[in-house]
Amino acid sequence: MREICVEASRAYRVQVGSGLLARAGEAIALAHSPCRAAIVSDSNVWPIYGEKLVNSLKSAGFNPVFFVFPAGEASKTGETYLTLLNFLAENRLTRADLLVALGGGVVGDVCGFAAATYLRGVEYVQLATTVLAAVDSSVGGKTAIDLPAGKNLAGAFWQPSLVIADCDALATLPPAVFRDGCAEIIKYALLYDAPLFALLEQTGLDFPREEVIARCVEWKRRAVQADEFDRGERMKLNLGHTLGHGVEARSGFAISHGCAVAIGMALICEISAAKNWCDASVFQKTKNLLEQFGFSTACPFPASALAEAALSDKKRRGGMVSLIVPREIGRCDIVPTPVDGLLPLLRLALHG
Ligand code: NAD
Ligand code: GLY
């Protein structure tokens, strides 16, 4: 097991390893004294891991109750959030009690936002069961729900008290969901870590789970500690995401988040190579690695449609959008770009 300590507005440990869910109660008891624990999970994860977690929490002296909602992004709504708040109130959870998110990023985001706002804030623990949750969403305290106008439009920064990523849980992921999270791993490698990039080139999808996930969490820790509230360094974690969100939105969400981010990363590398912001080999190596992981790197939309979709992204600030551009494998910069400069850039890589 590897442990990373995040020193943010709340300090907490991130544990990455095997067999951790069965021992979660013990670990949680070290972070929070035994109390009522409201487990929040989804309809796919709960039947596989719910009983194991309940038994572990009870053995450690916690009194668990559970709230399970239908799996998927469609549940990340105000309705699910309010139903959860009512569940907590009806079960008379107090500020001395605890929420426990058991699932991927959707569960973590909804549970975290409820924790941030119920009784003006209660502690919560993240038990990450997807690759994306393990390397990204469970760490750093961004919590959110979607609104009809867009994704993650209501939320709060609220750090967890403990994060546990049990690598064994990744074995039950549908292959497409597993791969989706790998786009974030490739993102960390391109952003910060050339040796990790080289390791992934050697292993492809068979990368050593614990080592690679812990390494990504370490990069996330550094970004969060440098810039907890996402005004500078942390924005680099959006590498591939501004264009990726455009691809996702333009496809009506038929293209998954990870697949869209993969296309976004390939595009920004191609644009950066065309602008001489980086060597052409950065584009070629990134494209090859993404394709080795099974991602398509071809953008199915013309430049004009993608520019329009990408600019409705909430990362647009005033007349500027912050593009994260690669300089070399393992080093990227934030390049503030005027909104009307995006289409000409996209035309360096796409027709239309
Ligand atoms: P998800 O939570 O929807 O999980 C994907 C699917 O896998 C779901 O059907 C889920 O039920 C299933 N699943 C989860 N764990 C499983 C397991 N171990 N075995 C079998 N099935 C399992 O999706 P995700 O990709 O984990 O997260 C995406 C969400 O995360 C989005 O809403 C996104 O906005 C959010 N996100 C948040 C942050 C943040 O910093 N808070 C960062 C990135 C993404
Ligand atoms: N997922 C990007 C961040 O946490 O800032």
The tokens describing 281, both together, are 């080999």
Does ligand 2 have an atom closer than 6 angstroms to the CB of 234? yes
Say how many Å lie between the CA of residue 103 and the centre of ligand 1: 7
CA distance 95 to 210: 34
Can you give the pLDDT of all 352 residues of the chain as single tens digits? 999 999 999 999 999 999 999 999 999 999 999 999 999 999 999 999 999 999 999 999 999 999 999 999 999 999 999 999 999 999 999 999 999 999 999 999 999 999 999 999 999 999 999 999 999 999 999 999 999 988 999 999 999 999 999 999 999 999 999 999 999 999 999 999 999 999 999 999 999 999 999 999 999 999 999 999 999 999 999 999 999 999 999 999 999 999 999 999 999 999 999 999 999 999 999 999 999 999 999 999 999 999 999 887 556 667 889 999 999 999 999 999 999 999 999 999 998 8
CA distance 4 to 80: 31
CA distance 237 to 336: 15
CA distance 87 to 73: 20
Between the alpha carbon of residue 107 and those of residues 67, 158, 234, the distances in Å are: 11, 15, 22
CA distance 181 to 261: 10
Does ligand 1 have an atom closer than 6 angstroms to the CB of 169? yes
CA distance 261 to 127: 24
HSE on the CB side for 72, CA within 13 Å? 4
Residue 142 CA: nearest ligand 2 atom is 4
CA distance 128 to 45: 10
Looking at the DSSP assignment, which residues form a beta bridge with residue 5?
13
Nearest CA to ligand 1 atom 37: 137
Q: Are 67 and 87 in contact (CB under 8 A)?
A: yes
Q: Are strands 36-42 and 2-7 parallel, antiparallel or unpaired?
A: unpaired
Does ligand 1 have an atom closer than 6 angstroms to the CB of 73? yes
Q: How high is the pLDDT of residue 314?
A: 57
CA distance 35 to 55: 15
Closest CA to 300 of 339, 344, 264: 264
Q: Are 200 and 208 in contact (CB under 8 A)?
A: no
Q: How high is the pLDDT of residue 315?
A: 60
Q: Are 285 and 275 in contact (CB under 8 A)?
A: no
Say how many Å lie between the CA of residue 183 and the centre of ligand 1: 13
CA distance 100 to 40: 6
CA distance 162 to 32: 9
Looking at the DSSP assignment, which residues form a beta bridge with residue 157?
142
Ligand lying closest to the C-alpha of residue 166: 1
Q: What angle do CA 106, 109, 111 make, to 5 degrees?
A: 100
Coil, strand or helix at 98: strand
Closest CA to 48 of 215, 173, 216: 173
- Please give the helix or strand (H or E) that residue 307 lies within, else none: helix 303-311
Indicate the Cα dihedral angle 282, 283, 289, 294, nearest 10°.
170
Q: How high is the pLDDT of residue 45?
A: 98
Q: What is the pTM of this model?
A: 0.97
Does ligand 2 have an atom closer than 6 angstroms to the CB of 257? no
Closest CA to 117 of 91, 89, 90, 137: 89
